[in-house]
Amino acid sequence: MLVEPELFGRRKIFTSVEKIDKTNIIEEVNKAMVHHVKNMLEIEYLYWYRRGVQPILEREKEIRPEINNKIVENHADEIVSFKNGYFLTQPAFYISRKEDESTTEKVKQLNEYLYRSGKQIVDNKVVDWFHTVGIGTLIVSPCKNGNTPVKVYALDPRSAFVVYSVNPGHEPVMGINVVMSGEDTAAIDVFTKNKFYRINGGFVGKLMTNDPLTVTANDVTETKANTIGEIPIIEYKYNTSNMGAFESVLPLLDALNNVTSNSVDGIEQFIQSLAVAVNCQFEDGTTANQIRQAGMLVLKSVGENKADFKILSEQFNQSGTQILIDYLYQQILTICGMPSTTKGGTSTSDTGAAVLYRDGWYQADTVARNTGDLFKESNRLFDEIFIKILKEKNLLDIDLNDFELQFVRNETANLLVKTQGALNLKELGLSPEITLARSGVSNDPVADVANSKKYIEAAWGSQKNDLNVEEDIKVDDEVI
């Protein structure tokens, strides 16, 4: 049976302890587990909701229970699928923050190691998780393979989570991964910045049921050094509330399922209309239940009233119901920051940017940009571990300030307006890098300018020529 929890976003788990060691780790893990179990139940519900296990499937009808359609319009999956594809149109990659060729070359090598690590594939899984349940997790691990010095794996947020410090900045204190095995045993892996602990634990209860779920850490069975020196489990989030992409519209999704199911019921009840027999004779032994199963009701006439037999039918107003369905669906799209496919009607005179504004594409892009900023915030923790492993293996020496993560989307959308804007910025005298970035023509202006250097010099003029022109002007002014 599907049990719906109260859903207001996943809880961020904190601890006030400054140092985690063998003396207090069991106590701290058990404290964190109390909050994580609540998150786990909510994540489980959202996970299956996205896959079509929704409350409408538990619907019961008191009147004519034999006609009880349970229609799931799985817009939750539609929302997540769109968000995934729009947010990661192409794999995220690193771009250089400096113009010198040495840094640009190092960033190219960094992207090569990023590709080998499998991080770009893992990003798809992490993004799918946080669009579904609000948070996604991954783990970074050094690898002995020379060609692949770092490996990245996506983790299930029902099992993996991070505990943060209550101090300003909320630095990660513990990374925990719980693996439930058997009927009541659990293996709990805990990472601190300098230690790894394997803990034997147990659990009672089940997910998606009314049975309370409790996970308990019992005793430490293994301790060893954390060679990375950082917490390798990293959490990513969709928004600051740690809510999934469709979580805020769950009541509307349920209402839409209910209206759609009732609409199908209405059609079916019209087709299977009840027959009414007044003062009619039937064969001996015929019961009202038998007649009712045949789609009729028996009414006994009194006195001299004549027998009558007729069909009770009322035409269902589909047009009025469709207006409500369209309204609910439009509200779902608006709240979730998704573009509409019906808002503009079948034909309008709007073109270009007006269509993008009207149909909600700019709103979708705004939400994706906000998510991108939060993604970059979490990804800096990954970057620190990533370049630290590469430095320790003497593969690449690059500073954290030399690069940043870049998302690619809408490269050709409204390209005419972007190029016109770029030309206007060029006329103002801005550099090629600033012009390409501000106009939106390029997602990696530094690299694009470097790759197109001779063509840009031909169009912009070289910096040396520009300086000569300025000197000529000064000389002319002095002569004048």
Say yes or no to pLDDT of 344 above 60. no
Mean pLDDT for all residues in the chain: 84
Query: How far, CA to CA in Å, does 197 sit from each of 26, 138, 301, 463?
Result: 10, 18, 83, 58
What the block records as the tokens of 112 is 């090569």
**What's the whole-number mean pLDDT along residues 101-116?**
90
User: Residue 297: its pLDDT value, please?
Assistant: 57
Q: How confident is the model at residue 311 (pLDDT cuts 50, 70, 90)?
A: low
Yes or no: say if 80 and 246 are a contact pair by the CB < 8 Å rule.
yes
Closest CA to 172 of 150, 199, 194: 194
DSSP 150-180: EEEEEE-TTTEEEEEESSTT--EEEEEEEEE
pLDDT at 299 over 90: no
Helix (H) or strand (E) holding 115: helix 101-117
- Determine the Cα–Cα distance for residues 430 and 121; give it in Å rounded to an integer: 37
Q: How far apart are CA 256 and CA 72, in angstroms?
A: 9
What is the distance between the alpha carbons of residues 311 and 274, in angstroms, rounded to a whole number? 6
Torsion sign (Cα): 122, 213, 217, 11:
positive
Q: What is the pLDDT of residue 163?
A: 97
Tens digits of residue pLDDT in 379-399: 999 999 999 999 999 999 999
pLDDT of residue 55: 92
Residue 465 CA to residue 467 CA, distance in Å, equals 5
Is the confidence at residue 62, as pLDDT, over 50? yes
Show the tokens assigned to 422.
């770029």
Structure tokens at 176: 């925990």
What pLDDT was estimated at residue 2? 61
Burial 313-340 (b: 16+ CB within 10 A, else e): eeebeeeeeeeebeebbeebbeebbbbb
Query: Quick one: 153 exposed, middle or buried, by C-beta within 10 A (0-12, 13-18, 19+)?
Result: middle
pLDDT value, residue 479: 40
Which residue in this structure is represented by tokens 């002569």? 479
Residue 446 has pLDDT above 90, yes or no: no
Lowest mean pLDDT among 82-86, 256-260, 285-289, 360-364: 285-289
Does the pLDDT value for residue 469 go beyond 50? no
In this prediction, residue 197 carries a pLDDT of 96
> Does residue 44 have a pLDDT over 50?
yes
Residue 476's CB is within 10 A of a number of other CB atoms, namely 9
CA dist., res. 374 & res. 163, Å (int): 18
Dist. CA 292–CA 298, nearest whole Å? 8
Q: Does position 294 have pLDDT exceeding 80, yes or no? A: no
Rounded to an integer, the average pLDDT of 245-270 is 89
- Of the two residues 265 and 230, the one the predictor is more confident about is 230
What is the number of H-type helices and E-type strands within the chain?
Answer: 14, 14
Length of the chain counted residue by residue: 480
pLDDT of 296 above 80 = no
Letter for the amino acid at 248? Answer: S
Confidence tier at 342 by pLDDT (50, 70, 90): low
Confidence of residue 145 (pLDDT cuts 50, 70, 90): confident
Structure tokens at 221: 């069975």
At residue 74, the pLDDT reads 94
318 pLDDT more than 80: no
Residues paired with 309 in a beta bridge:
277
Q: Which residues of 390-424 are buried (b: 16+ CB within 10 A; e: fewer)?
A: beeeeebebeeebbebbbebbeeeeeeebeebbee
What pairs with residue 155 in β-bridges? 137
Interval 370-383: pLDDT, tens: 999 999 999 999 99
Tell me, what's the pLDDT at 64?
80
Averaged pLDDT, 430-450: 78
Task: Give the global pTM.
Answer: 0.82
CB 131 within 8 A of CB 245: yes
pLDDT per residue over 169-216, tens digit each? Answer: 999 999 999 998 777 889 999 999 999 999 999 988 877 665 678 899
Identify which has the larger pLDDT, 290 or 197. Answer: 197
Q: Which of 45-49, 319-323, 343-347 has the highest mean pLDDT?
A: 45-49
Question: pLDDT value at position 204?
Answer: 85
How much is the average pLDDT of 285-305? 65
Are 215 and 203 spatial neighbours (Cβ–Cβ below 8 Å)? yes
Residue 97, helix vs strand vs coil: coil
The DSSP output letter for 98 is: S
Cα separation, 171 vs 187, in Å, equals 25
Residue 290: predicted pLDDT: 73
The sign of the torsion formed by the CA atoms of 57, 60, 65, 68 equals negative
Q: Give the CA radius of gyration of the chain.
A: 32
For the ranges 306-320, 324-338, 458-472, the maximum mean pLDDT occurs at: 324-338
Give the separation between CA 132 and CA 44, rounded to whole angstroms: 10
> Residue 244's closest CA among 85, 80, 72?
80
> Tokens in use for 109?
């090598």
Tell me the residue ranges of DSSP E strands in 303-388. Answer: 308-312
Supply the pLDDT for residue 376: 94
**Alpha carbons 8 and 331: distance in angstroms, whole number:** 19
SS3 89: coil
Instruction: With a cut of 60, say whether residue 414 has pLDDT above it.
Output: yes
200 Cβ contact partners less than 8 Å away, ≥ 6 residues apart: 185, 187, 188, 217, 218, 219, 220, 221
Predicted confidence at residue 415, as pLDDT, reads: 76
Give the side-chain half-sphere CA count within 13 A for 112. 10
